[in-house]
Chain A
Amino acid sequence: MISIIRTLWQILLHSFRPRVTIQYPEEKPALAPRYRGRIILSRDPDGGERCVACYLCAVACPVDCIALQATEDSTGRRRPEFFRINFSRCIFCGLCEEACPTYAIQLTPDFEICEYDRQKLVYEKEDLTISGPGKYPGYNFWRVAGVKIGGKDKGQAEREEPPVDLNSLMP
């Protein structure tokens, strides 16, 4: 009996607590920087596209919402011919971002991508690519990995170490 009265009193005191609801359209929620929202394709600090069309994101995607086609340009650099994400299937799990070796595909804290027409939720490469490097400002994959240029293989340039031999156990 006492506990019931105490319960009621405690609940009554909640009249004076602030309300936790965020009145969404007028009041925006504060999202964490690593919130997993709309997916983008980022660019190098130099402005080149980061994606090397390795298909890892498409493989990692549990709902198969990523479709792309690799192509090579004259220097042998791989890039996606098309890159398509179907946001009506995407579950925003972030596995594509984790799979990406070049930090090209990233999830952003933007969730306001509703459409009246379902077809409009299929984003092409032009819709996905942004102008900047996204979350990793200084990172350029090719500077870290090295590039073959005419006559010189990776690690053969001046003041450059040879790349790690992945098949060797030696330190």
Chain B
Amino acid sequence: MEIVIHIVTVLVVLFCVLNVAAGLIWVERRLLALWQDRYGPNRVGPLGLMQVAADTIKLFFKEDWIPPFADKPVFVLAPAIVMLTVLMSFTVLPFAPGMQVSDLNIGLLFVLAMSSLGVYSVVLGGWSSDNKYSLMGGLRAAAQMLSYEVFMGLSLMGVVLLTGSFSLTSIVEAQRKIWFVIPQFLGFVLFLIAGAAEMRRLPFDIPEAESELVAGYHSEYSGMKFGMFFVGEYVGVVLISSLITILFFGGWHGPVLPPIVWFLIKVFAFIAFFILLRAGLPRPRFDQLMSWGWKIMLPLALANLLVTGAIVLAVRGSG
């Protein structure tokens, strides 16, 4: 019986996450259109909702072309890795009390590890395409994601220090009185920026920068392989939004409404915020991105960690 419940939870989470991610394509296009005084897709089905289905059908019927000069196995594997790593992160996220695939005691570390592994998909995709633009994209992705990962992890350590646990459920429970966004505001801002960079979202989409690199690391991809990169990005947005909600905005906590509704409201607020970032901000230059990461964000994250650690030590005592 236990196993059946587990399997059902896994399937429900997988189904919901993938559908939400696919639906985000529509949400993003509509929101971007709203902020640019347009309508966006509104022809296919009610409010254009079936646009996603139409796009998916189109992607499935596209020629699934592998360039003859590509490194075939790696080329095929790369888009699978992005989906795999991002979806694996969802196993440890607590959506509501009891609604969680697995409550790892190192949940946060697991998420960070999976997002690090996500780099491989981009790098391998860029490398195996054997195309100079793809390679440039992969190279940029590697540099960007490695440098932003450093302070992404460090910015979360303040939360871990306050909670005293890596388990995401404990972190949510610790926010019953006060959301961590208040004591850890700097950590929140740093994680927001690092999260956007880690998911290669605009304005940090430098690896695919279509104005410079054709489509960056996925220039050579077509059909559903491209679709996997595409959906992977949206799943990543859901992941980062859920993480921000869980780590800084009290997860499912909230008055009156049931926990899962609160969780979804918060997550969608952050998804909308990420789309707003895309609508509003231009793409920085690559060297600017790197120097911000190492010269501003990393020292700030370290300072945040030190101060939080000192305060926690002073309050709780050395015992």
List, in ascending order, chain A residues with CB within 8 A of B39's CB.
19, 21, 23
Binds A, one of B9-17, B112-120, B143-151, B277-285: B277-285
Q: In the complex, what residue of chain B is closest to A12 when comparing beta carbons?
A: B276
B35 at the interface (CB under 8 A from A): yes
CB of A11, distance to nearest CB on chain B (Å): 4
Distance in Å: Cβ of A6 to nearest Cβ of chain B: 10
Give the CA-CA distance A8 to B276 in the complex, in Å. 7
Q: CB-nearest residue of chain B relative to A18?
A: B37
- A18: B residues at CB distance < 8 A: 37
Q: Nearest Cβ distance between residue B165 and chain A, in whole angstroms?
A: 33
Contacts of B38 in A (CB 8 A): 19-21
Interface residues of A in 15-32 (CB under 8 A from B): 15, 17-21, 23
Which residues on the B side are within 8 Å of A20 (C-beta)? Answer: 37-38
CB of B57 within 8 Å of the partner chain: no
Inter-subunit contact B281/A14 (CB<8 Å): no
Interface size on B, residues (CB 8 A): 12
Closest A residue to B42 by beta carbon equals A23
A15 to B36, CA, bound (A): 8
Minimal Cβ-Cβ distance residue in B for A23? B39
* Contact, CB under 8 Å: B276 / A17: no
What does DSSP make chain A's interface, helix, strand, loop or mixed? helix
Is A4 on the interface with B (CB-CB < 8 A)? yes
B 5-36 to A, binary, CB cutoff 8 A, 1 in contact else 0: 00000000000000000000000000001111
- Chain B residues near A4 (CB-CB < 8 A): 280-281
Kindly list chain B residues whose C-beta atoms are within 8 Å of the C-beta of A23.
Answer: 39
Question: Within 8 Å of chain B (Cβ to Cβ): is A7?
Answer: yes
The number of residue pairs between A and B whose CB atoms lie closer than 8 Å in the complex comes to 34
- Neighbouring A residues of B36 by C-beta, 8 Å: 14
Q: Assess the A15–B35 pair: CB atoms within 8 A.
A: yes
Bound-complex Cα distance A56 to B276 (A): 55
Q: Name the distance in Å between A80's Cβ and chain B's nearest Cβ.
A: 44
How far, in whole Å, are A4 and B281 apart by their CA atoms in the complex? 7
Known: A4-B281, A7-B280, A7-B281. A12 touches B37 (CB 8 A): no
Q: Which of B36, B38, B276, B280 gathers most chain A CB within 10 Å?
A: B280
**A17 neighbours in B (Cβ, 8 Å):** 37
Residue in B33, B34, B37, B277 whose CB lies within 8 Å of A8: B277
> Per-position contact with A for B266-283: 1 when CB-CB < 8 Å, else 0?
000000000011011100
Complex formed: what's the CA distance from A15 to B33 in Å?
Answer: 9
How close is A14's CB to chain B, nearest CB, in angstroms? 5
Interface contact B35-A12, CB-CB below 8 Å: yes
Bound Cα distance A8, B34 (Å): 14
* Min C-beta distance of B303 to chain A, whole Å: 17
Contact digits for B168-182, partner A, Cβ 8 Å, 1 yes 0 no: 000000000000000
How many Å lie between the Cα of A11 and that of B281 in the bound state?
10
Write the B26-63 contact mask toward A (1 if CB under 8 angstroms, else 0): 00000001111111000000000000000000000000
Q: Please give the distance in Å from B61's CB to the nearest CB on chain A.
A: 23
Query: Smallest distance from the beta carbon of A65 to chain B beta carbons, Å?
Result: 33
A14→B37 CA distance, assembly (Å):
7
**A19 neighbours in B (Cβ, 8 Å):** 33-34, 37-39
Interfacial chain A residues near B35, Cβ < 8 Å: 11-12, 14-15
Within 69-124 of A, Cβ neighbours of B (below 8 Å) are at none
In the complex, 23 of the A-B residue pairs with CB atoms within 8 angstroms, ordered by the A residue number, are A4-B281, A7-B280, A7-B281, A8-B276, A8-B281, A10-B280, A11-B35, A11-B276, A11-B279, A11-B280, A12-B35, A14-B34, A14-B35, A15-B34, A15-B35, A17-B37, A18-B37, A19-B33, A19-B37, A19-B38, A19-B39, A20-B38, A21-B39
Residues of B within 8 A of A (CB): 33-39, 276-277, 279-281
Complex A-B, nearest 7 residue pairs according to Cβ-Cβ distance, in ascending order: A11-B280, A14-B35, A8-B280, A7-B280, A21-B39, A20-B37, A11-B35
